[in-house]
Structure 1
Amino acid sequence: MSRRPRLTQPRHTHHRRQQSGRAEPIEALVSEIGARGDGIAQSDQGLLFVPGTAPGDRVLVRPGPRRGEGRAAELLEVLEPGPDRVDPPCPHAKSCGGCSLQHIHPDTIAGTKRSILADALAHRGFDADIVTETRSVGPGTRRRLRVAVRRLGGRTVLGFNERASGNLVDISVCPIARPELVSLFPALRKLAASLNSLGKGGDFQLTLTETGVDLLIVPMRDVDPDLGERRRMVDFAEDHDLARIAWEIDAIPEPIVARRDAVMRFGGVPVALPMGAFLQPSAEGEAILVELVRAAIPGGADAVADLYSGCGSLSLPLVADGRNVLAVEGESAPVGALRAATGGMRVQTECRDLARAPLTVRELDRFDAVVFDPPRAGAAAQAEELAHSKVPRVIAVSCNPSTLARDLRLLVDGGYVLDRVVPVDQFTWSAHVEAVAVLSRPTE
């Protein structure tokens, strides 16, 4: 749980305006961390949202523009650190906007993630006690990174944006990421500098698979690389033992070099990932989600539907448990990858847009359990159908507390009982939180 000090009034509550129109600096005491990762402090102007602060920090801030129920504020100085403040491990922490919480003690972060989830559920009428303690994943585990590159005259910058800014911070290390990805940063800068077709820059999407790094290059402009650039990318893949490289044009990845399939194992089954396919940020986070979903499905449940199934990270462990699984996904490439990997296994696949054409009550009622893991927009249409179904057990996996709470309210209003919600912190040092919710249909 987070160690939070009691909220007190700031020492200076006066507020004057400078001739420039900017607010005078004031002192404030940070009481907690909000849903965006900013510290929340009280002042004579109401709530202040102060990035880079921790609970208990006494700070000097400059109030800024209105934001929601308060004002954004610029942190000028930490006058007295609170008990939850720690030294950030990353040398880029003050400038890079990729992480917002690494200056806060891990126990406090875990409590904050639980509170973010509980607050979202409370807005839909749920009791905070339904939320368990947070399951956390540590740094150095992230296997997916999307880094920006900019070609600025004689130099090339690779990194992440400053907080609330379009300025790019050139980074040399990234403590949240797997070392295999970070070690490529210097070589990726040189590669970007040699690719004139990038124009001013673009993004490098890196995925560490079991067979090597999968690199997708997304230029800022839709321009095909020339023959020489293609040759340089082939050489880069050879020199650094990458699995493959693709170049995205009009949102479609074009393979440049494929030395081997980019493979991940789900439930012990090797699956060749489509380029750009969704993958949980870390293997450790994925393992927690799989564990929670497996534990939530009753032993006698035979028929299970896995909705928004992707490439099968949840489907295949359930098949390994002896379940008969229907895996439904809206994109054809993941469906094809899962189908190719599971010939003769106890899994059926279907490509279907569940937002426009959710499984109907009639289709759902044959299942003993349903799992759904939608994108951030949630699964409102599918939750509506589930709410009228007879499915005994429903497990919702979500990376958006707000849409999760909405979908859970639909299910509970339809007669389900919300048993528990487990926060999973696999987005290390960010304000994002994953969750697994378990619901049961009472027997008549």
Structure 2
Amino acid sequence: MRRRARKGGGRQVELTVTAIGSRGDGIAFVDEKPVFIPLTLPGDRLRVRLEAEKGGGFRAEPLDLLEEGPNRSDPPCPHFGVCGGCQLQHLDESAYRDWKAARMPEALERQGVTAGELREPIYISAGSRRRATFALRRHAGGLDLGFHRRQSGAVVDLQTCLLLTPELFALAAPLRAALEPLLPPGMRGDVILLQAENGFDLLLITPEPPDLAAREALSAFAAEQQVVRVSWAADGKMAPEPIVERSAPLLTFGQTAVSPPPGGFVQPSQAGEAALVAAVLEALPKDAKRVADLFAGCGSFTFPLAQHATVTAVEGDAAALAALWTAARRAGLAGPVMVEQRDLVRQPLHAEELAAVDAVVFDPPQQGAREQAQELAGSPVPRVIAVSCNPVSFARDARSLVEGGYRLDWVQPVDQFPWAAHLELVASFSRT
């Protein structure tokens, strides 16, 4: 059978990288089309093989680095270049910060949006990430536990990780040893780990449920390693099944202790969360009495906001909202905090539903909140506070708000993902 030709044809060319793209790849051009080359920096001249089409251009595999550009640094992690967890460890610190600082103004400029103030990013240190999703692959020689290889389903068996808290990474070795005899050869899965304030929370995701012996072994592992809860799920969509709960894992949001659901989203670092919360509270009007917290999760903004105003928390995920509501009732905040389960992508709050609130906070997933931003644009809400993990989708949503009569007063970027292309932010909008 004749092999189908690849788009790009496997052609080899020499290129010079001129910029870093929004996903951390170097960008060069061939035939006036962009070429995205991983692990390269501006000024690098190299020989590459053109591969699949991507974004109107090509993805390319670097073959030979013929000349290094400036601002290259020795990566501090031995896994860099193989592990897909970091994209920019080879960029020196000064150039890295310049690139991160430029991401927000570039995204706004592409949408034709002007901010009253673009603040310098707040940089969160490496070694502070309290939450991680490890991939698992059981093979004849043992168990690989770590992150996926770059552009691959293979697993890098991590021997170190500079992103995670030392306590969280220290759990990797005993976890690998505990899981290896429990999983049959060929099995793949994931483990979501959270370092809570009172111990670790562990969600095991595998195609088949653990048998009785495996459950007993996981219970013993939990007792030995300060793991307060272990759960299992067949995939990331089904409700997790409890295996052992020695106590509920706890995180404090504002002054309220919350037990997030197994595998539930929380901010990846405590320091990053604190920076985002501080910016949200700065943007909150002093006289605000009623606030809507949209895409509220399990309450990382709801409870700090509730110290200043009555808050309606709206969230589509039932487990996250249940955790928020349980925490509110236990803290005596039923009343100051109200909840509503609602898919805000399919069913955004309409402008008339927002007429009675003094401020809206919205923190959507990476794809942004196109539909909700359009409704907000037609609302009379005097203050809108946006939280985002994606400058591109934020800039798109900001354009909707500005076209609806809002002024973008300021943007505070927060770099909570060192050496990665991600950038978080808080932005304050007011009615003109």
Look up the equivalent residue of 2:161 and give its one-letter code.
C
- 1:362 and 2:349 are equivalent in the alignment: no
SS in 1 for 2:242: strand
2:218 to 233, 236, 259: 233
Aligned twin of 2:200: 213
Q: Contact 1:308–1:372 at 8 Å: present in 2 too?
A: yes
Given candidates 413, 417, 425, the residue that maps to 1:427 is 417
Report Cα offsets for 1:214-241 as digits up to 9, x if no partner: 110001x2x2211111100001101111
What's the Cα RMSD here? 2.1
2:323 matches 1:337 = yes
Aligned residues of 1:369 and 1:391 also touching (Cα < 8 A): yes
Give 1:245's aligned residue: 230
Distance 1:405 1:45 in 2: 26
Residue deviations 1:66-85, cap 9 Å, x none? 33343322223444433321
- Answer whether contact 2:114 2:408 (CA < 8 A) is retained: no
CA shift for structure 1 position 100: 0.7
- Inter-partner Cα distance in structure 1 for 2:163 and 2:194: 14
Deviation at 1:36, TM superposition (A): 1.4
Whether the 8 Å CA contact 1:149–1:157 is kept in 2: the answer is: yes
1:155-200 per-position Cα deviation (integer Å, ceiling 9, x unaligned): 2111122211222221111101111111112212222212236851
Partner of 2:313: 327
Q: Aligned residue for 2:11?
A: 23
Three-state SS of the structure 1 residue aligned to 2:119 is: coil
1:125 aligns with 2:108: no
User: Is there any run of 5+ residues in structure 2 with no aligned partner, and where?
Assistant: 1-8
> What is the CA distance between 1:110 and its match in structure 2?
2.8
The equivalent residue for 1:387 is: 377
Query: Residue 185 of structure 1 corresponds to which residue in structure 2?
Result: 172
User: Could you tell me how far 1:129 is from its partner in structure 2?
Assistant: 7.6
Work out whether 1:401 is the aligned partner of 2:391: yes
Say which SS state the counterpart of residue 379 (structure 2) adopts: coil
One-letter amino acid matched to 1:272 = S
Letter in 2 for 1:328: V
Cα distance per residue 1:88-120 (max 9 Å; x no partner): 111111311111111112332233233333333
Determine whether 1:302 maps to 2:289.
yes
**Which of 187, 190, 209 matches 1:224?**
209
8 Å Cα contact 2:115/2:409 also seen in 1: no
Shift in Å at residue 362 of structure 1?
A: 2.6
Distance across 2 between alignment mates of 1:328 and 1:64: 44
Please give the alpha-carbon distance, in whole angstroms, between the structure 1 residues aligned to 2:116 and 2:282: 20
2-structure distance, mates of 1:396, 1:241: 36
Match of 1:111 in 2: 98
Residue 85 of structure 1 corresponds to: 72
Question: Letter of the aligned partner of 1:259 in structure 2?
Answer: R
- Correspondence for 1:318 among 288, 305, 318: 305
Letter in 1 for 2:60: A
CA contact 2:355–2:380 (8 Å) conserved in 1:
yes
Q: Deviations over 1:268-322 (max 9, x none)?
A: 21111111211011111111111111111121222211111111111111222x2
Q: For the residues of structure 1 that align with 2:29 and 2:375, how far apart are their CA atoms?
A: 44
Structure 1 stretch displaced more, 172-181 or 399-408 = 399-408
2:376/2:401 contact within 8 Å kept: yes
Alpha-carbon distance change, 22 to 280 in structure 1, aligned in 2, over 3 angstroms: same
Aligned amino acid, residue 287 of structure 1: A
> In the alignment, which residue of structure 2 is the partner of 1:102?
89
Aligned-pair identity in percent equals 47
- Note the 1:58-77 alignment, pairs <5 A: 58-77=45-64
| CA distance in 1: counterparts of 2:30 and 2:371, whole angstroms | 42
Within the candidate set 9, 12, 34, 1:47 is matched to: 34
Alignment correspondent of 1:415: 405
Cα offset, 1:249, TM superposition = 2.9
Match of 1:257 in 2: 244
CA distance in 1, matches of 2:183, 2:138: 9
Measure how far apart 1:51 and its partner are: 1.1
> How far off its partner does 1:22 sit?
4.2
Q: How many residues align?
A: 418
SS at match of 1:318: helix
Give the TM-score normalised by the residue count of structure 2: 0.91
Distance in 2 (CA, whole Å) between partners of 1:48 and 1:218 is: 36
Q: 1:228 to 1:126 in 2, by over 3 A?
A: same
Residue type of the partner of 1:232? A
Corresponding residue number in structure 2 for 1:271: 258
Secondary structure, aligned partner of 2:374 = helix
